Amino acid sequence: MRTPLDSPFSPGSDVVPQVWAGRARFLADWRDVLRPRRVAGIHERARTILGEAGSGKSALVRRIAQSARDQGDWVTEQIRIPAGGDPLKRVAEALLGLAAQAGLVVATEKRISAVLACVQAVAVGGASVTFREAEGVEAYRALTELLIELGRAAIARANTMVVVHVDEVQNITDTNVLSQLLVAFGDALAYEEPVKAPGGYEASRALPIAIYLTGLPEFLDMAGARVGATFARRFQTGTLESLDVESLVEALYPFIFDGWEIADPDGGIRRISMEVPAATNIIRYSCGEPFLFQLAGANAWYAGTGDVITEEDVERGWAHAAPEAEAHVLRILERLPAREREFLEAMAALPPQQRQLLTIAKALGYATSAKVGTTARRLETQRGIIARGTQYRFTNQAVEAMLSSGWPYEAPPLRNPHER
């Protein structure tokens, strides 16, 4: 018998869900590119992962962090930046935690002691700190120096990475503070450490440091306008789209084929299976959104107690979840400027095969597409809601479903976000 205590679905909790779906490209980037290159001393940029609320960006980096810890890497907590908070103070606190883990707090070198003292002052005073006793060293410079020391310690330990994750970066609204933080990270990533190469000659290498920033899509505008080329050069940005059907099907495979294992009250193991129509409707209602997928799964689990999740369970569960799903997508739409929302509404009103830029422009009352080109570009590159081309398409399926169908109170047809 299944109970809420057994549910493997975790909607909106920012933890790594037990039922994981998709994002293979980002996981492979960490496993096959970022970590191997940095451990080998090869330069590789920081990663910025942006997406609307519910796209799974925090859970994705938490899973990467979990993988890093399993390999013995030194990983910060998820450094969440609240609105009005001091990001330099939060980052300083997290780096001091890594310094303790790396054994730097017991180091006897005066250089390391001085760096730790500076960062401890940042952890107390935040962005307002200026170190007169340290010849005017600014807060960002102190963070850079500690990152460098952590990188050196990781080299000495061998096959170890320093991983920093800063979340909710769109809340860093102070221009100067944002610049200091990004420059501190960028300078540490660009630093070259002298090492002795085989044969006795001196070479230089990058430090084994990885930086992940996660937040809402508008951060790209903020960072680009305030830091400009430095941000673009040192940070590789990806925007999360809706998950494809295949990824969601794969996530539900354990239920369909073998059953999901839960503990039996008698100390044994039970398996919870799922009807194929039930899995299909979870996928249809969730529209490729990780949060909605977890929400649909959790409510289907709660809707019954049997060892089989039925199609009726999914329908009953979604009836409870639909208002929350509706509010979730409305929050995305309400954050958009009027011109962007009007563009999406006009695009959604057209049949998919007629979604060309000129046709959308005419639906908005313009004679040419020039009037809406900038809006379309922002919706693609900075919002991740549409994809441009000869034929425009929605990459955020929940937004499309909200604007063009009876969802969330009716199940939309299955569609991959990459289909034209």
Q: 133 pLDDT band (50/70/90 cuts)?
A: very low
Rounded distance between C-alpha atoms, residue 250 and residue 126, angstroms? 45
DSSP, residue by residue, 131-195: EGGGTTEEHHHHHHHHHHHHHHHHHHHSS--EEEEEE-GGG---HHHHHHHHHHHHHHHH-EEEE
- Amino acid, res. 351: P
User: What's the mean pLDDT when you consider all of the chain?
Assistant: 88
Q: Is the separation of the CB atoms in 406 and 322 below 8 Å?
A: no
Q: 129 pLDDT band (50/70/90 cuts)?
A: low
Low-confidence winner among 110-119, 199-208, 372-381 (lowest mean pLDDT): 110-119
CA angle 286, 398, 64 (to 5 degrees): 65
Length of the chain: 420
pLDDT digits (tens, 9 = 90+) for 346-381: 999 999 999 999 999 999 999 999 999 999 998 998
What's the half-sphere exposure (Cβ side, CA atoms, 13 Å) at 287?
A: 30
Low-confidence winner among 16-30, 205-219, 231-245 (lowest mean pLDDT): 231-245
The secondary structure of the chain in percent helix, strand, coil, rounded to multiples of 5, reads: 55, 15, 30
Q: Answer yes or no: is pLDDT of 190 > 50.
A: yes
278 beta partners = none
Q: 416 pLDDT band (50/70/90 cuts)?
A: low
Most confident range, picked from 222-231, 270-279, 409-418: 270-279
Q: What is the mean pLDDT of residues 239-249?
A: 91
Residue 197 pLDDT = 73
Q: What is the mean pLDDT of residues 238-247?
A: 90
- DSSP classification of residue 338: H
Residue 106 pLDDT = 65
Low-confidence winner among 41-55, 64-78, 163-177, 404-418 (lowest mean pLDDT): 404-418
| High-pLDDT (> 70) share of the chain, % | 93
Sign of CA dihedral 12, 13, 19, 23: positive
Closest CA to 29 of 233, 245, 210, 224: 210
Rounded distance between C-alpha atoms, residue 245 and residue 62, angstroms? 23
Residue 189 pLDDT = 95
Residue 125 pLDDT = 66
Q: Answer yes or no: is pLDDT of 394 > 60.
A: yes
Q: Is the separation of the CB atoms in 363 and 325 below 8 Å?
A: no
